[in-house]
Structure formats: C-alpha cells, structure tokens
Chain A
C-alpha cells in the first residue's frame, strides 16, 4: 500500500509539473499569429503515417536514419510497457496487461528486443558525439549547452534501456527461481539471467523492484525535462508533422493585408470606401517573436538541432553566415525571453530587443536563396524559408531596407516591368529573324 501511495504521489507530481509546463506553452502560443486553417485531415493522417511513424525523411541519410527509426519504433513499443507499469504502480499489481494473452507476449518480446537495439543505437549516437567529428553538430549556434543537452538526453535514454533490461532479467530469474510462470517472452533478458544467478529469490525480488522504480521514476523525470530541452521534439515532432504546411515547397503564403491595399490602389472607385472594421494597423512581416505564426513557433519547438537543414544549405556550405537551424533556435530562445515579458507585463512590454537584428542579422537573411533544401531535408517538415522571407518582408516594407542591388531591381520592376533596366520596347528582340529548317 505504501508503495502505491508513493507511486501515486510521484505520478501526480509528474502530471502537475507537466500540466504547468503545458499551460505556459499554451500561453506562449496565444501570442502568435494565425497561419493556415487545419484542413485535409485524411491527407494529414497519411502524411503523419509516412513521415512521422514511417520516418521516411530520416532515411535521406540512410545510416543515422535507420538508427533513429529503430530508436523511435522502439519507443513506441516500449511505451506500452510503460503504460502497464503505471497501471501496476497505481493498483499494486504485477504485469496487469498479461490479460492480453498472446499479444502480450508479442509486446513484451518486441519491447525486450528493442531495449537492446535502442541501447546500441544510443551508444552509436553517443560515440558520434564524443569521438567522431560530425560537421553538422557544429556551428555558431551550437553552444556548450546544446551539446550538453544532447548528451544528457542520450545518457538518460541509455539508462532507461538498461533499467528495462535489468527489470526484465530479474523478473525472469525470479519467476524461474520460485517456479512461477513467466508472463511475456523475453528473448534478450532470458539470456542475461546468468548475471544474477547467485541471488536468492528475495534478493531477485529486490533487484526487480529497484530496476522497476528506477525505470519509471526516470521516465517521469525525463518527461518533465524534455519540454525544457531540445529533446522536446520527442513530444512535438509528431504534431509538427501532422500540422505540416501542405502547400508545395515553392509556394509562399499570400499577405492578404497587402492584397487589400493593392486593390484599393488599383481601383480608384474604392479609394474612398470605408475601411472594413476598425483593425489596428498590422505590422508587415516579422520583426520579433510575437509576429510569427503558431506554425513557425511550433517548428522552433519541434527542432532537435540535428543540423540536416544547415548541412544542405548552399549559403551555409559556402561559408556564409546563414544557418537555417540557427533561425529556429533563435526563434525559440527569443520567444522564451520575450514571451516571459509579454505574459508578465502585457502586450506593451519591450526590452528594446528583437528577433531580427538582436538574434538574426540582416546578413543571414539576405544570404538565403529560397532553394528549399532545408525544408526538404528536415525530417519533421519544419519550414525555414517562409520565416526568412517574412523577416525580409519586415525589412523591405516597414523599413525600406534591402541590399542596394535589390532596391534597383524593385525600381526596375516598377518602372519597366523587368528586374533589369531595359525598355519594354525591346521585349521581342529575341524573336527577330527566326528561321527553322524544314526537310
């Protein structure tokens, strides 16, 4: 009974802290702007099955792709076991889900095998971070904390897998020692019982209890650490994929506020018509964290800093300052900073800083070729170019600021309908004196 009370208290604490964290994030999301209506649920479900559950974009890098996919699929299987542990803990029973019969065997067997596979994959990941120089893990945005964050998360996952194997091994050993049936099949752990062979049934039971508690408490701790770490992607990736922009990568979102203005300009009849509603003048483009859409912010929270985007960015490859990953990390950091102020002091809060300039420089923004390699590469469909263009929109339309050559392009388009300074009269010069040979 005591253990049930302790367990319930731990569970309440876990959900309490998690609830508080969620509430804070919900309030930050309330600061963001609308993006697009979430329609086409069928399409979204199939996208989620393919990209999230099927990990399709991870395989663009085959080796790490399969490693990650195994970890992810392992998590899903092991999750069932974790749910069972919560039921067991609350009601003081053992292996409550054994009522599932044959299916239980399958779940336990795959969980047991996957705990070993995940442990190996995590060791590979740790090895890559500790002993191999992987270029995409470096960059100006990758501070000490980012690296520490990654290693801590990997360390915890490794411990989770080891405690799970320990738990299964002592369970098998204990049931065998007392001649009781073993519920579930444990293809890996049954071979590890040699490690605990000398122990009495009581000692085995204690061993089992120790691993059980270590495993479940570590899960509770990890679940509450994640939202404050880059590994928040464990929670946010699947929703981020489900809420993907469904447009082709080449399409930029239309600014309807501009359409209204341009139509007014082009049609003199409506120039004196009353303005619909009494809307406050809207800012064009993105200057700060609260100008972004909920999707931009979700992207930034789902980013796990893997750096695949930056590794394929033509600007980053050729040594320019732009790094798509940094754009996402900056947005997340700036929202943490400004959002706190906005929630505390209201919408007039200002700390005389902004996402653009204090975090992301104009030089970074103007280096983008809008080639969409970053968005194509992102395993969870983060879209960086739309946010980059939104910041350019602020610079150009609110400040009239752009590289001189681009200002000249704007002038040319306005004056002679082409980015170059040529006369409209010369548009058909290419078609003069054309000949074809006919046999």
Chain B
C-alpha cells in the first residue's frame, strides 16, 4: 500500500492547457468552508481521482448558487448569482455537473433552466450508485460488516427530487446492516436546516427540529448515521452532541463511507 498525493484539477488550469474535463465537480460553499463538510468534499475528490474520472472544480471561481437567498425570499440576489454562474459555465463549456449538496443539485437541475442554464446535473449519490452497478468500485465488504447504518433522507434529494433508492443501494453495497427510521423516504422528517434555517435561530417552539430527528435516528440503534447533505450533517452531528452520544454513534456522509470502504 502506497500513498500518492493528488492534486484536485482546477477548471481554469485545465482550460489554459486546452483541456476540457467531462465533469464539473461543484463543491458548494459548505464543501469549501464548513470544516466538517470539507472532509466530504475531500473524500469525494479522492474517489474521483482514484477512479481517474475526468473532472475539475471551479475553485476560486465558484460562487453561491443563490439557494439560501432564493428560499429566504431574495429572488433578486438569487438571480444575480445564477446568471453569473451561468456565464462561468458557458465560458468553460460546462455540460455535466456533479454536486455533493442537494440544495445545489436542486437549484441547478430544476431552477437554472428557467434562466437558460441547462445542464446534465448529477447528484453524487446517483454517480456513486452508477459506478457501483457498473462494477467500477471495488468495495471491501469487511470494513462495514455488522455495522448498522441508518440513512437520513435530505429533503432536497428525497421529496424535492424523488431520489430515495440510489443512496440506499450505495449503502447496501457496503454490506453493513441498513435500518430505517420510522419516518423515512417521502415521510422523512426534515433536519430543520432547509429554507434558510441553517443560518438563523429557529423561531420559538417547544423543541429544536434536529433533536426531534436525532431521536428518530437513535431509536434505530444504528452505529452510523449516514447523511448526504451538508446542512443535514451539521444538524445530525449537533443532535448527537446534544444527546451526548457522539462517542459511540458516528455521523458520516455517504461519500466518506465509500472512501473508507475503498480503503483510500
């Protein structure tokens, strides 16, 4: 086993060399700045490099999709962001975008087309699912044998875009034991962070939404809570801390679990 350094390819560099990558890996603001989600961005980049996928990131040219602004009612700011991003995609002739954030996925897939930005938008869970079904990912089944995993559906993959099965197939490939929370798939409870809530205090109530949701997860007795959204990850990890369970129960992103199972 040897360790190799990898350099994440940046779009501007590739273009200056006259190369056009097949995929744009859209990291998202959480992947770039949130300390916990940076690790997810890294895990996914490792998988891409490991498989020698022809991809690049935008790096410093990436900018917010406008999702938090849009869902907080600031349509003006959203459209300014969107039109600027569309210009950048045009400059780099972007055709396929892979996202690791459901909010970015949703806005590219469903909302940018209204502004003229039409791409093949791929969620990383679907991307991983395809790789597994094509037999390109050699997963070591020993890594997660006898580890019970529960999956928290993010609203923007699940209800918003009907992606329920591919993340479960990916998790099943780890040969861990998948246990469902009683509210799952289209019935799944939100983590509490969508629609701009991530960035503000919740309104007054009897309970925080993430506590209600972490209780669902704890009831399954799973040892791993798998998430596929940066906001859900923040909330579920906070929930584990709130319940003082972060030592025995871990919250990992699907990409991290795959990277671990690949032993990279």
Of the listed stretches A68-76, A198-206, A390-398, name the one at the interface; the rest are far from the partner chain.
Answer: A390-398
In whole angstroms, what is the CA distance A405 to B68 when docked? 12
Contacts A252-B111, A318-B205, A373-B159 given; indicate if A409 touches B189 (C-beta within 8 A).
no
Of the listed stretches B38-46, B170-178, B246-254, name the one at the interface; the rest are far from the partner chain.
Answer: B38-46
> Which residues of chain A are within 8 angstroms of B2 by Cβ–Cβ distance?
437-439
Of the listed stretches B56-64, B141-149, B217-225, name the one at the interface; the rest are far from the partner chain.
Answer: B56-64
CB distance from A140 to the nearest CB of B (A): 14
> Which residues of chain A are within 8 angstroms of B83 by Cβ–Cβ distance?
262-263, 266
For B64, give its contact among A250, A319, A417 (CB under 8 Å).
A417
CB distance from B49 to the nearest CB of A (A): 6
Q: A252–B70 contact, CB under 8 A?
A: yes
Of the listed stretches B16-24, B74-82, B128-136, B237-245, name the one at the interface; the rest are far from the partner chain.
Answer: B74-82
For B63, give its contact among A258, A393, A418, A434 (CB under 8 Å).
A418
| Total number of B residues with any Cβ neighbor in A under 8 Å | 83
Contacts A319-B207, A322-B203, A436-B264 given; indicate if A314 touches B190 (C-beta within 8 A).
yes
User: B6-19 CB contact bits vs A (8 Å, 1 = yes)?
Assistant: 11101000000000
Task: Check: A376 CB closer than 8 A to any chain B CB.
Answer: yes
Most A CB atoms within 10 A — which of B39, B41, B193, B199? B199
Query: How extensive is the interface on chain A, given as a class?
Result: 35 or more
For A371, give its contact among B76, B79, B161, B190 (CB under 8 Å).
B190
In whole angstroms, what is the CA distance A223 to B48 when docked? 63
> Which residues of chain A are within 8 angstroms of B193 by Cβ–Cβ distance?
369
> Which residues of chain A are within 8 angstroms of B209 by Cβ–Cβ distance?
314-315, 317-318, 369
In whole angstroms, what is the CA distance A325 to B27 when docked? 37
Task: Check: B166 CB closer than 8 A to any chain A CB.
Answer: no
What would 10 more interface pairs be, CB under 8 Å, given A424-B63, A426-B33? A250-B156, A251-B106, A255-B79, A262-B80, A319-B206, A321-B205, A376-B159, A389-B70, A428-B8, A435-B3
Interface residues of B (CB under 8 A from A): 1-8, 10, 27, 29, 31-34, 38-39, 41-42, 45-46, 49-50, 57, 59-60, 62-64, 66, 68-77, 79-81, 83-84, 106, 110-111, 114-115, 155-156, 159-162, 186-187, 189-190, 192-209, 211-213, 263-264
Closest 10 CB pairs of A and B: A250-B160, A392-B73, A319-B206, A370-B195, A417-B63, A371-B190, A319-B205, A430-B38, A396-B73, A251-B110
Interface residues of A (CB under 8 A from B): 60, 247-252, 254-255, 258-259, 261-263, 265-266, 284-285, 312, 314-315, 317-322, 363, 366-373, 375-376, 385, 389, 391-397, 402-403, 405-406, 408-410, 413-414, 417-420, 422, 424-431, 433-439
